[in-house]
Every structure is written in C-alpha cells, then in structure tokens.
Amino acid sequence: MAIEVTMPKFGLTMREGTIQRFFKAPGERVNAGEPLYEVETEKVLYQVEAPASGTLAITLFDEGATVECGTAVAVIAEVGEDVATVAARYNDSKSASQPAHRDSPVTSPPPASQTAAANPSQTAAVTPSGRDRHTASPVARKIASELGVDLDKIQGTGPGGRITREDVERGAKSAATLQPAISAAAPPAGSAPSIDRVAFRGVRKVIAERMHQSLHSSAQITIAAEADVTPATEFRARLSREFDFSYTDMMIHSVARALMRHPRMNARLNANGKEIALCASANVGIAVALDEGLIVPVVNRAESKSLREIAVESRALGEKARSGNLKLEDVTGGTFTITNLGMFGIDAFTPILNPGETGILGVGRIVEKPAVYRGEIAKRAMLWLSLTFDHRVVDGAPAAEFLQTVLELFNSAA
C-alpha cells in the first residue's frame, strides 16, 4: 500500500513549512530513515526522513512550495507496487493542491497558450530555445529571475537534466566573472535607474511576521541604563588565562541567576490571557546574526551551569547556527533572550521581544571613558544595557530592579 509522506509539525507554533529541495526524484529507490526532502520552518532547516522503503512515486509539491502541516508532500510506493499506477492515482490531487500552497514571491509569466491567444504573432517568441519550463525547478526559476540568469544558457545537473538552484548560482558566478567591467558613463537622459529585487520569503519573511506579531500582541516598553563594568572587564582579563569566554557568556551567566531572583521576568502570559506562567528554569536565548536572518539558539537551564559550561555551550551553538546544523531542540523552549550589538559599535538600542517571552536584554559596546569614580574623574569601562519587557506581565519598577541585579551579578562575577 502506498505511503503518504506529510509535512511534519515540529513545534506548537509551526503551521507550515517550505520545501527547499528533494533529495530523491520520482522513480528513484528510497530507503527508510534516509533524508527524503529538506524543509525550512520558522526556526531551522530540517531534513525529513523517509518513513518506509520503496520507490518515490510522485512529489505532490515543487521545490519552493509552502505547505501546511499534515498535508501530503510525496508518496512512496512499497516494494511490489506498480509505481505508475500509484503516481497516476495522486496526479490529479497534485494539480489541485499546487496553487493553494505555492509561495510565489516572484511573478511567473502567463502560460504560453494564454500568450498565444492574446497575440498569435508572438507565439514563436514564448520559448526561443524550445526548452520545457519544467526542466528547471521552481526554486531555480525564482533565483534565475532574481539574478537575471538566462535558463536557456544553463546546463542542468539534476535528474533528467533538470536545472537546480546550484546550477543557477554557479551560472550567475560564471557570468559575473566573464562579464567585462560596466562602463561608468552616465546613463542616457530619461532612463530609469535599475532596481534590484529580492524575494520576500523564507527566514526573512518569518522574522518579519514574528516581529510584527510581537509588537501587536504585547505591551512593550524599553528602559536603558549606563553602568560602570570595570570590575567585570578586570575579572575577564584575569580568568581568560584559564579558559576562553566572552562578555556575552558572562551576561548569560548573570541574567540566568537574576531571572531566578525575579521570576516575573522569566514568565509567559498564557494565550488565553488569564494566567501568568512562571518558568522554573532560565532558558536563555542568544540572538545570532546570519546572512539570511536572525536565529536564537537557547542555553537551557543556564542558572544551573558554571561560566565555563555556558562558554562551551554557547560557542557550540554559535558554530552550529553559522553552519546551518541547529536542531529544533536547540532553538525552542527559550524563556528570555539576550541580543548583543556591541561588536558593531552600538551603544544602546530598542530590542523587540521574542514572541511569548516577557523580556529581552540588549547589550551595547563596552567603552573606556572618563567617569566619576569615588569622587574623582577616572578612566572607567562603561556599558549600556537596554531592557525591553512586556508591561502586561511586569511593571517598570520590578523590571528596573531586575536590570540592577543583572549589573551587580555581572560585576561581581560570583
């Protein structure tokens, strides 16, 4: 009996996933447990494994399609089944489902039949090379449109000569290498400047949706304070001879312990709006900037870990984030977030809450400058911290007390 492979639901907030690529083509042998396709969720890229062995009979969506959780994505014919019969059985449902779930940030040209009907004289110009448009995957066509790559000049390396995303990207690089330098002469009078367009999809689209949701579903307010953190810098200078750690690691260590003293900052307002759930552990998220967007891996139960343990774990999470190897368990369960822009020369900013959390701490750069210390002007290391919190859960005074506790712990390095 044919087996349907559905879009999985990796977390409570996941409603849909975007198919990035299939590892198998229809007609190829599939073994149970091997990766069948890659899906992009609101948090991570995830490889979905084949639930059974057999032959991939049909894929019900193209690469680049966004599919609701629980919807069949592909069908595997079991050993002994007629693959053609299974594929034919699902072919009609594939045609019906594609328009409803496809994520189409780039406008596709009208079908050739419609173009011909509108202007018969242009029929020959629709496909100059006669290439079937389906020999290029949807993702490849989108990227080609974005990069201005002519698909007729690309040699496909996919199954049956199908043009893949990698083929288009390789072709774009080759064109950039061979193209002579563009003349610096002024454009003709009246000509419009060219505009680069990037598809609004994937991680960038998810971030936009979640930040918009956060601002419209909570009462956010930000307080900021500049503090003398010279003791913390001196502590790091001494202890860094023993093991490698960062100021962010020290901040995670301090925040986790402060959350245990101020449980309202480590809370969630339930979806029904009737209960505030106080979290037993401090699961501190660390915002990591990637080329394609922002990801927040989580140091779980950080209040029970030493600074050395936090340093090792946060470094490992950062490396996994940059290499694209984060698992779902690495990015879920956070109760509070830290975002550090100090390395970019930023002093203070207004961070936006991670949806569901009560607080997020923005960390600026540490700057040595003149300050009053014990009644005299002295060179001190100064740091700005910006705390955004949900005013529905906690008021300004308790939030300010939490921020004071964070700074005290950061400087004490206990």
Asked if residue 229 and residue 263 are part of one domain, the reply reads yes
Asked if residue 170 and residue 234 are part of one domain, the reply reads no
* Out of 49-63, 117-131, 279-293, 397-411, least confident range: 117-131
pLDDT per residue as tens digits for the range 78-114: 888 888 888 888 876 665 555 444 443 433 444 443 4
Residue 187 in domain: no
- The residue out of 101, 123, 149 marking a domain boundary is 101
Asked if residue 366 and residue 222 are part of one domain, the reply reads yes
CB 64 within 8 A of CB 103: yes
pLDDT per residue as tens digits for the range 32-55: 999 999 887 766 777 888 999 999
Asked if residue 326 and residue 382 are part of one domain, the reply reads yes
pLDDT for residue 221 is more than 90: yes
What is d(CA 232, CA 120) in angstroms, rounded to the nearest whole number?
76
CATH of the domain at 151: 4.10.320.10
- The residue out of 80, 101, 122 marking a domain boundary is 101
Angle between helices 247-261 and 307-323 (to 10 degrees): 120
Residue 193 in domain: no
Q: What is the 8-class DSSP label of residue 74?
A: E
pLDDT per residue as tens digits for the range 352-382: 999 889 999 999 999 999 999 999 999 999 9
Asked if residue 212 and residue 133 are part of one domain, the reply reads no
Asked if residue 94 and residue 128 are part of one domain, the reply reads no
What is d(CA 150, CA 141) in angstroms, rounded to the nearest whole number?
10
CATH of the domain at 56: 2.40.50.100
Asked if residue 355 and residue 298 are part of one domain, the reply reads yes
What is d(CA 185, CA 244) in angstroms, rounded to the nearest whole number?
52
Residue 73 in domain: yes
Model confidence at 224, in pLDDT bands (50, 70, 90)? very high
Tokens representing 63? 């690469």
CB 255 within 8 A of CB 404: no
Q: What global pTM score does this model have?
A: 0.65
Asked if residue 90 and residue 26 are part of one domain, the reply reads yes
Based on the structure, what is the number of domains in the chain? 3
Asked if residue 151 and residue 70 are part of one domain, the reply reads no
* 20 alpha carbon, distance to own chain's centre: 13
pLDDT per residue as tens digits for the range 150-164: 888 888 876 567 787
Catalytic residue among 82, 152, 244, 395: 395
Residue 334 in domain: yes
Query: What residues make up the domain containing 218?
Result: 203-412
Residue 72 in domain: yes
Residue 183 in domain: no
Q: For 76, how many CA atoms within 13 A lie in the half-sphere containing its CB?
A: 23
Residue 129 in domain: yes
Asked if residue 246 and residue 162 are part of one domain, the reply reads no
Please identify which residue in the block is written with the tokens 């609004």: 200
Residue 107 in domain: no
Please give the average per-residue pLDDT across 286-311, as a whole number.
91
Which SS3 state, helix, strand or coil, does residue 369 take?
A: strand
Model confidence at 139, in pLDDT bands (50, 70, 90)? low
Residue 391 is a catalytic residue: yes
What is d(CA 113, CA 208) in angstroms, rounded to the nearest whole number?
37
pLDDT per residue as tens digits for the range 141-198: 767 776 778 888 888 876 567 787 778 878 877 765 555 544 445 555 565 666 777 7
What is d(CA 298, CA 330) in angstroms, rounded to the nearest whole number?
6
Catalytic residue among 150, 212, 244, 391: 391
> Which amino acid, residue 273?
G
Q: What is the 8-class DSSP label of residue 388?
A: E
Residue 395 is a catalytic residue: yes
Q: What is the mean pLDDT of the chain?
A: 82
Asked if residue 381 and residue 250 are part of one domain, the reply reads yes
Would you state the pLDDT for residue 183?
46
Asked if residue 152 and residue 18 are part of one domain, the reply reads no
- The residue out of 101, 124, 157 marking a domain boundary is 101
CATH of the domain at 316: 3.30.559.10
